[in-house]
Structure 1
Amino acid sequence: MHTHAPLIIDVAGVELTDTDRQRLAHPLVGGIILFGRNWQSREQLARLCAQVKAVRPDLLIAVDHEGGRVQRFRTDGFTHLPPMAAFGQLWLSAPQKDELEGGPALRATNSASAAGYVLGAELRACGVDLSFTPVLDLDHGESSVIGDRSFGRDPRMVSVLAQALMHGLRASGMGNCGKHFPGHGFVKADSHLAIPVDKRSLKAILAEDAAPYGWLSASLDAVMPAHVIYPRVDSKPAGFSPRWLQDVLRHRLGFTGAIFSDDLSMAAARRIEGREVSFTEAALAALTAGGDMVLLCNQSVVDGGAPIDEAIEALSKAMVQGDWQPNPASEERRLALLPRGAAMDWDGLMVSARYMHALSLLP
């Protein structure tokens, strides 16, 4: 068994090709991230996931499935999950007649757990292992890319609702991934297109946006850093910064789970300290900074997937030359994200009391 499989790659279609199988079988590849183009129907998705597991049972099958506008599968029975802001709004709503003070907050918490259960159970019924959720970013009212993906403005409310969502995910057998550390909600720019810069001090960020990571350090299985530069802390974006990933996230906030880079094909991921960098340089920088896994998204559709092959080859070469050391602890953290226990199949799920009750609690 390989000591560390850090690459999370994607595939172009709705089933695996022989080339996909070859890439997924490579010992440096640890998983796959699915997109809307990989979806036709539940039956097809389940078949695709089974094809991936047939290559290697330990491959992690992940997706961005949060609810609201970030939900990859929306048809053929998948529940349209509300955006996270809906739970924050419920929390802040007025108590109902004869309801105790704080009742709406507790109802919102229960509702968020229900959403986590529905989200996790539906994905698992089709063979998906992990969704990159919850969003822990605070809604400062500035960021177009975060917006209603955030539970709200107050880090305490965000932490409690995220904890509740993760409880529901856990009940379905699924892990979680908090994002985007140490906070993407304060900046206007969209890191898919540009490099956002947040000029606040470390103290200000720790007091607010990064606070949920400390409060949830015992519950978070994984964290995804933001492609944002915080120049008063480090000149590198958070995902390439040992200061952020090791000094702050691991040591100061006590996080022990897996660190995923955000998508390394994003504009913000391809510049480090003013210099254009290749995928491979970006991947090595993220891993060397303390990341466990790196995401190369939407590259299977570029030149027949040439960028993926280049990244695999370059990482292999870096390992042989001693420029990169595989980390057995990273591999343990990756394997810990695979679901425990068998998933309920779709038909069984649809008639289960827990699932039906969870649906009734959604806002």
Structure 2
Amino acid sequence: MSTDLCRLALAVLQPGFEGTTAPDWLRRALGDGLGGAVLFARNLPSDTLVPQLRAENPDVIVAVDEEGGVVTRLEAHTGSSFPGNRALGVVDDVDLTERVAHQIGRLLAAADVTLDYAPSVDVNANPENPVIGVRSFGPTPDLVARHSAAYVRGLQAAGVAACAKHFPGHGDTITDSHLALPTVHADVDTLRARDLPPFRAAIAAGVRAVMCGHLLVPALDPDQPATLSRTVLTGLLRGELGFDGLLVTDAIEMKAVAARHSLGEIAVRALAAGVDAVCIGITDERGLHELRDAVVAAVRSGALPEERLAEAAGRVQSLAEWYGKQSRPAAAFEPGVGLEAARAALTTSGTATLVSAPVVVEVNTRLNQAVDSTAPTGLTAALDARLPGTTRVAMAPESGLPELDRNRPLVLVVHDSARHAWVRERIAQAVQARPDVIVVDTGIAAPAPAATFVSTHGISRASAEAAAEWLTTTREASG
């Protein structure tokens, strides 16, 4: 029983790790039955890593956060080839969303990835939300629901499992769950009308996985975060919504839950609540063994029924079997669909055209910890490809506008001006100092006083290329 129980415990764990090759401890664990592994930018790109994992366990669930837009792993060093959800919601063409998701799926399929922790189906109902924002398709449930379903269809048609997140909805929060426990204060009727429809739509579209969020929702469970709540996960998601696929946690080292319990206790409580796979963003051999041993001890003490653990391991295996049956052509299908979507998403005003190399001042809004990238917005590089000699100046949030060559065009790049009063102040200062400044907002934008304004509705290489193309194309004044 001991060996079988250890294998069951390992089967439900999805650890992250350091390095672009599989460490020896991870290989040993895979041979002993470890069910999954999650990849981050620190692990990629690597042509040998996934084959190393599958050599030890052909059925391993290889998972990755590849949302497109600002949250990308495979393209973290260059910026994503695809705009994110907010841009797709602005376009509001479900066929285009499905095509983008399908192309993302083909990119992942070529890398032999089983599970994409995407899409985010949260309704971004609170404009002050620090962690969802442009990762959401938008602020209304109908819009988010139809694009969530389209994204699931497109991704899974490429043979990669989709994962709707963050159940029961992270959109109406003002706290980043990486840092503390967010609370959703809405009543049950609001939750049902606003936050649950996108999950219902994703489930109806056949989504293979759902990720629960580290959220306290008092209207559903006043005592436990959703990750640890049987009422939320088994009662609502399994019972009422009828979801029978893989239920995975957000990373359990996030402070929303890790500040309350040890990682082993979180894993046990989550499994007891109805979770099937426990994601650990980063660990080592000792940490993995501690998690395994905590699960085994809980079964032996009766705190976690062995039948519940076996059910969870069975759902992990079911997803692996589904993946093994998929047809995944490696050739690119629509290599230009990302740029097409980014162009369609641009919101623009004004007629200024760049004909000489500008100075690009990027106001470095601090992005949330889900963004696994140090790459800037990419607009400087995109403009430099068209106007050689373009230069970039990084501007810290606490800094004022630097002294610049007044003989060169000025482009001010900001993020989420609708959310940050200080960003709006920087824009106003720039317009006062340089009335000819061109303002580009890469997030959720407020109306800008600039004569020429561009909103990309997200950060991606595709969005930067679309903006650079528009800014360097001659236009005639209207009227």
TM beyond 0.5: yes
Partner residue of 1:332?
314
Which residue number corresponds to residue 13 of structure 2? 7
Structure 2 residue aligned with 1:18: 24
Q: Which residue of structure 2 lines up, in the alignment, with residue 119 of structure 1?
A: 104
How many angstroms does 1:70 deviate by?
0.6
SS in 1 for 2:14: strand
Correspondence for 1:129: 114
Quote the Cα distance in structure 2 between the aligned partners of 1:335 and 1:190. Answer: 32
Alpha-carbon distance between aligned partners in 1 of 2:75 and 2:299, rounded to the nearest angstrom: 40
CA contact (8 A) 1:78 1:122 kept: no
Amino acid at match of 1:211: P
Residue identity matched to 2:209 = A
Which residue of structure 2 lines up, in the alignment, with residue 195 of structure 1? 181
Write the distance in 2 (CA, Å) between the matches of 1:66 and 1:361: 17
Cα distance in 2 for partners of 1:344, 1:205 equals: 40
Cα displacement (A) at 1:252: 1.3
2:17 is aligned with 1:38: no
Bigger-Rg structure (1/2): 2
Contact in 1 for aligned 2:105/2:155 (Cα 8 Å): yes
- In the alignment, the residues of structure 1 paired with residue 112 and residue 156 of structure 2 have an alpha-carbon distance, to the nearest angstrom, of 16
Provide the residue aligned with 1:355 in structure 2. 334
Cα deviation digits, residues 209-257 of structure 1 (max 9, x gap): 1222223323221111111101232111011101101111111122121
Contact persistence 2:162–2:209 (CA under 8 A) = yes
Map Cα deviations across residues 138-177 of structure 1 (whole Å, 9 max, x no partner): 1121211000000001111111111111111122111111
Residue 254 of structure 1 pairs with residue 217 of structure 2:
no
Distance 1:3 1:266 in 2: 24
Does 2:210 match 1:210? no
8 Å Cα contact 1:142/1:185 also seen in 2: no
Match for 1:315 among 279, 295, 314? 295
Correspondence list, 1:1-363, <5 A: 5-27=11-33, 29-39=34-44, 41=45, 44=46, 46-74=47-75, 80-91=81-92, 108-140=93-125, 141-218=127-204, 219-234=206-221, 235-271=223-259, 276-300=260-284, 305-324=285-304, 325=306, 326-338=308-320, 339=323, 340-345=325-330, 349-350=331-332, 354-356=333-335, 358-359=337-338, 361-363=340-342
Q: 1:264-295 CA deviation, whole Å, 9 max, x = no partner?
A: 00001224xxxx31111000000001111111
CA change 1:285–1:11 in 2 (3 A) is: same
Residue 33 of structure 1 and its aligned partner are, at CA, apart by 0.3
Does the 8 A contact of 1:258 with 1:334 survive in 2?
Answer: yes
The superposition leaves residues 57-104 of structure 1 with CA deviations (integer Å, 9 ceiling, x where unpaired) of 11100001101111012169985221100111112xxxxxxxxxxxxx
The letter of the residue matching 2:289 is D
> 2 CA distance for matches of 1:277 and 1:76?
34
Checking the alignment, whether the CA contact within 8 Å between 1:23 and 1:309 is kept in structure 2 is no
- Cα 1:78–1:119 change in 2 (3 A) is farther
Q: Deviations over 1:310-361 (max 9, x none)?
A: 112222333344432254432332233332335333xxx13xxx33474565
**TM-score w.r.t. length of structure 2:** 0.65
What is the CA–CA distance in structure 2 between the aligned matches of 1:62 and 1:136, rounded to whole Å? 18
Q: Separation in 2 of the partners of 1:163 and 1:214?
A: 9
Judge conservation of contact 1:270–1:282 (CA < 8 Å) in 2: yes
The number of aligned residues is 328
TM-score (structure 1 length as normaliser): 0.85
Residue 98 of structure 1 corresponds to which residue in structure 2?
none
Question: For the structure 1 residues 192 and 334, does the alpha-carbon distance in structure 2 shift closer, same or farther, using more than 3 Å as the test?
Answer: same
1:182-234 deviation per Cα after TM superposition (whole angstroms, max 9, x unaligned): 11110110000011111211221111112222233232211111111012321
Distance 2:335 2:268 in 1: 45
Letter in 1 for 2:53: V
Corresponding position of 1:102: none
Question: Which stretches in structure 1 are left out of the alignment for 5+ residues?
Answer: 92-107
